[in-house]
Structure 1
Amino acid sequence: MGGFFEEVKGGGGAAIALDEIEISILRSLTVQLLELIGPGVPEDADPLAALFAEGPSEPPSDPALARLFPDAYGSPERAAEEGVDPAELTARSAEFRRYTENDLRTRKREDALAVVRSLDGLTPGGDGAAVLELAGELPLRWLGTLNDLRLTIAARLEITEDEQSAELVRLPDEDPRKPIVMAYHWLTGLQESLIETL
Structure 2
Amino acid sequence: MSGFRRHRRSGAAVATFTVHEADLLRSLAGQIIELLRSEEATPQAEDPLERMLDFSGPTTVPDDPVLARLFPSAYPDDEEAAGDFRRYTEATLRNGKAASAATVIDSLEDAGLPAEPEDGVFIDVELDPPTAMTWMRAFTDMRLAIATRLGVEEGDEERWAALPEDDPQAQVHDIYEWLGFLQETLVRSAA
TM-score range, shorter chain: 0.7 to 0.9
Identify the range of structure 1 (172-181 vs 21-30) with the bigger mean alpha-carbon deviation.
172-181
Q: For residue 164 of structure 1, what is the aligned residue in structure 2?
A: 156
1:54 equivalenced with 2:56 (yes/no) = yes
Task: Give the count of matched residue pairs.
Answer: 177
Q: Which runs of 5+ in 1 are unaligned?
A: 42-47, 75-85
The 3 A distance-change label for structure 1 pair 118 and 172 is: same
Q: State the TM-score, normalized to the length of structure 2.
A: 0.83
Q: Name the Cα RMSD after superposition.
A: 2.5
Match runs of 1:9-24 below 5 Å: 9-24=8-23
Q: State the TM-score, normalized to the length of structure 1.
A: 0.80
CA distance in 2, matches of 1:33, 1:18: 20
Q: Which runs of 5+ in 2 are unaligned?
A: 41-49, 114-118
1:109 equivalenced with 2:122 (yes/no) = no
Q: Which amino acid aligns with 2:148?
A: A
Q: 2:179 aligns with which of 169, 187, 193?
A: 187
CA contact (8 A) 2:108 2:123 kept: no
CA distance in 2, matches of 1:151, 1:93: 21
1:122 equivalenced with 2:121 (yes/no) = no
CA distance in 1, matches of 2:53, 2:103: 22
What's the offset of the Cα at 1:24? 1.1
CA contact (8 A) 2:29 2:105 kept: yes
Q: For residue 135 of structure 1, what is the aligned residue in structure 2?
A: 128
Measured against aligned partners, the alpha-carbon deviations of 1:130-169 in whole angstroms (never above 9, x if no partner) come to 21000142111101100000000000001132x2255313
The 3 A distance-change label for structure 1 pair 144 and 195 is: same
1:173 equivalenced with 2:165 (yes/no) = yes
Q: For residue 6 of structure 2, what is the aligned residue in structure 1?
A: 7
- Over the matched positions of the two proteins, sequence identity in percent amounts to 34
Match runs of 1:85-104 below 5 Å: 86=77, 89-104=78-93
Q: For residue 45 of structure 1, what is the aligned residue in structure 2?
A: none
CA contact (8 A) 2:13 2:129 kept: no
CA contact (8 A) 1:169 1:181 kept: no
The 3 A distance-change label for structure 1 pair 188 and 109 is: same
Measured against aligned partners, the alpha-carbon deviations of 1:82-135 in whole angstroms (never above 9, x if no partner) come to xxxx4xx222211111100000001001111111111112237x9632210001
CA contact (8 A) 1:14 1:194 kept: yes
The 3 A distance-change label for structure 1 pair 94 and 182 is: same
**Stretches of 4+ moved more than 3 A in 1?**
48-51
Q: 1:65 aligns with which of 67, 90, 97?
A: 67
1:148 equivalenced with 2:141 (yes/no) = yes
CA contact (8 A) 2:19 2:120 kept: no
What's the offset of the Cα at 1:195? 1.2
